Amino acid sequence: DIDHFKSINDTFGHPVGDRVIRMLGAVLRDSLRSTDVVGRYGGEEFCALLTDTSRDRGLEVAERLRADIEATEFGGVNRPVTASIGLSHLEHLEDTDERLTVEQLISRADIGLFVAKSSGRNQVIGYEPGMEGE
């Protein structure tokens, strides 16, 4: 999720905001492997599926993406553009052979995103059990 995106639109205009979204999508696409999938999820949110990636490696990749976004110069915006990232990991549900559903994965990533946003933005937070009450 792009931090303070409404402020970018309000300050620099919607055409600049649209350019920021397109450029950020390119940063994500160029920073991930060809086996990974990334797309715009809605508004200023993006979602990425990292294939064959452990939770720890996913956190490393997400942190690299966050740093790449912050280091990118977005034409027309005279300040850094940053992003908050929530991460979840496909795992077996406790004591069963079932895996999390796509909806559960997204919900957990959203919880991590909420914690990242509410604790200062421009950071990566991986979902941990018990965060639901945050």
Instruction: Report DSSP letters for 59-88, one per residue.
Output: HHHHHHHHHHHHHS--TT--S---B-EEE-
Among the options 44, 63, 91, 134, which is catalytic? 44
Tokens of 11: 């300050």
Residue of 35, 53, 120, 38 lying closest to 89 (CA atoms): 53
Q: Could you tell me which residues come within 8 angstroms of residue 110 by beta carbon, excluding any fewer than 6 positions away?
A: 86
Partners of 38 in beta bridges: 48
Q: Are 2 and 24 in contact (CB under 8 A)?
A: yes
Q: Is 128 a catalytic residue?
A: no
CA angle (88, 5, 9) in 5-degree steps: 155
**Residues with catalytic annotation?**
44
